[in-house]
Amino acid sequence: MSKLNLPEKSFTDIQKEIRLAQKDNDERELDYLYQTLDVAFANFLFEISLERHEVASLQEPPDMLLHMELIKGQKLLDARMQYYNAVADYFDRFDPEKAVLASEYGKKIAADLYEEQPDNENAWIWLCEFNQRQFLLSEDKVPYAKALHDLYIRISDDHDATSLSGVMHFCFDTAVANSKPELYLPLQNQVLDEVEQMFSENPEVIFDIILSFGIHKRDNLHIPDGICQNWLDLAIQHENNHDEKKINSIGHAFQRSGEAFSRSDYVQYAAHCFEHLLEKNPEGWPNYVYLGKCYYTLTKLDEENKKDHLHKAIDILKQGLEVDSSMSLLGAAAEVYFGAITTGEDHGVDWADLESLLKEAEEKGDGYYWFAYKDLFRLYLHNKQQDRALAWLLRGWLLLGTYIPKDEIRALLYTQVGLNDRTLKVIEKMLNYQPVINWRPLDNVVGLRARALPELLMMFEDRIKKRRS
């Protein structure tokens, strides 16, 4: 490890350029240089946290202080707190006592700022961060638990989404909380009590909680499903009188939650959000995608009304394609059309409609969108045209093979239609191929469309052999 020192090029030279720009009153150049300095400082902290530099002392190094001269006020204090947080990360692995001490230095800066400016959100967040770290590292956890309690009480006053998110992520992080449940359970109960109190005083805060936490199931967080659904149920009872951006976010949260908890009423609520946005702006094509996906999801959650939901999904996406035939709309429509056609019932779309849509997507996508090739393969397979199906699969793989997840290729083995031996062997070779990143020229897209199956197979085998060699 090298001794901790700021990169000469990253800081010293930038400092000189900043002073010249200040002298010349060059605002544009100054703005660029300050951004460059921010990036250099972030890289410096990252290097510390990864132990690529030796931290000889907990005190801020002279080189960093020289850098600090160029940033004033709140930004200077933020930089100092970021520094001590990175140093705490550094010592966390092999010297917990020094990690706690580094956190103490950072916390002192945050506490002074918080005392001076009680409404400063950043000071509150950093104060929580340092107390949380000390709570985790210290043997005597009582004082830090009390400090966190006092800090968390604030969430009942300001209903700030960022604050809520930080608190919840700390208290309900699965890996950490499950390791010491006896220490975390009181904090978890306390936060849940505070949240319930917030609901009673201001029901609107429920939407902030849903958005800040992403209430749907998360791998790294654990709140009992019953509590999550209770919060979502409370939200549905209240008017969603927010701006368009927030309504959009709420719609996505309920869509994902509906899928996670298999609740059709949550997806219906999401659909209501996107319908509202389309009423406001019928030209907003993304909302056709979101609304169409909601109704298609409902076909899986509400069996009794499946046919009606499918018709709605198709109609909405057709309307969207009249507004803008974007790749997102084409992809969503392809998924819904395929699902509708394979039911064997008449839903107003057929194989010819799907083929036309996918050919348009393949041409517009310039070889960058796997779904067009995958669905053309599935389409011709269902229509007992295995040679055509295989040709489109090969075109897609020759263009995008290094970027297609193996699970996507493996799923092709489980199609409802039987695969012949040649197609099976090609898919198995695709799965065994070890990818090498080698992006192709764009003009290959047009060339591959014109190539017949025998030539495509030769190109495929040649690619496989080259990789082996």
Q: How far apart are CA 107 and CA 85, in angstroms?
A: 9
Residue 166's pLDDT is: 62
Question: Higher pLDDT residue, 79 or 275?
Answer: 275
Residues 245 and 230 in one domain: no
CATH code of the domain in which 302 resides: 1.25.40.10
Residues 347/311, Cβ–Cβ less than 8 Å: yes
Q: How confident is the model at residue 443 (pLDDT cuts 50, 70, 90)?
A: very low
Residue 344 inside a domain? The answer is yes
pLDDT of residue 215: 54
pLDDT at 369 over 60: yes
Examine the domain organization and report whether 243 and 338 are in the same domain: yes
What share of the chain in percent tops pLDDT 70?
Answer: 76
Interatomic CA distance for residues 439 and 436, integer angstroms: 9
pLDDT of residue 445: 73
Phi, psi (deg, nearest 5) at residue 53: -130, 145
314 shares a domain with 246: yes
Which pLDDT belongs to residue 217? 47
Specify whether 246 is located in the same domain as 308: yes
The predicted structure's pLDDT at residue 298: 96
Whole-angstrom Cα Rg for the chain: 28
Mean pLDDT within 219-233: 75
The Cα–Cα gap between 463 and 86 comes to 46
Q: Is 79 part of a structural domain of the chain?
A: no
Q: For residue 438, is pLDDT > 70?
A: no
| 453 pLDDT more than 80 | yes
pLDDT at 110: 86
Q: Is 419 left (phi over 0), alpha (psi -120 to 50) or beta?
A: beta
Same domain assignment for residues 220 and 256: no
243/222 same-domain check = no
Model-wide pTM > 0.85: no
pLDDT for 8 equals 44
Domain carrying residue 245: 239-349
- For 139, the 3-state DSSP assignment is coil
Are residues 257 and 162 located together in one domain of the fold? Answer: no
Bigger pLDDT: 234 vs 283: 283
Mean pLDDT (the chain, rounded): 79
- State pLDDT tens for residues 237-270: 877 778 888 899 889 989 988 998 899 999 999 9
Contact 133, 99 (CB under 8 A): yes
Residue 441 has pLDDT above 70, yes or no: no
Q: Residue 295 is encoded by which pair of tokens?
A: 């109704």
Is residue 45 a part of any domain in this protein?
A: no
In this prediction, residues 115-120 reach a mean pLDDT of 82
- Alpha-helical regions (H) of 202-344: 205-213, 225-236, 244-261, 264-280, 285-301, 306-323, 327-341
Answer yes or no: is 300 within a domain.
yes
pLDDT greater than 50 at residue 7: no
Residue 312 confidence (pLDDT) above 90: yes
pLDDT at 295: 96
Residues 266, 180 share a domain: no
pLDDT in tens, 78-107: 777 888 888 887 777 778 788 888 888 888
Tell me, yes or no, whether 30 lies in a domain.
no
211 and 176 assigned to the same domain: yes
Q: From CA 445, how far away is CA 447, in angstroms rounded? A: 5
DSSP string, 86-108: HHHHHHHTT-HHHHHHHHHHHHH
The domain boundary residue, chosen from 349, 374, 396? 349
What are the beta bridge partners of residue 53?
Answer: 2
Percent with pLDDT over 90 in the chain: 29
Higher local confidence (pLDDT), 55 or 35: 35
Q: Within this chain, do residues 263 and 297 fall inside the same structural domain, yes or no?
A: yes
Q: Is 59 within the bounds of a domain?
A: no
197 within domain boundaries = yes
Average pLDDT of span 321-350: 91
Q: Is 467 inside any structural domain? A: yes
pLDDT at residue 467 above 80? no
- Residues 243 and 343 reside in one and the same domain: yes
Q: Which region holds residue 159: left if phi is over 0, alpha if psi is between -120 and 50, else beta? A: left
Confidence at 216, pLDDT banded by 50, 70, 90 = very low
* Stretch 355-367: mean pLDDT: 92
Give pLDDT tens digits for 157-175: 555 555 566 666 667 766 6
pLDDT of residue 183 exceeding 90: no
> Do 265 and 201 belong to one domain?
no
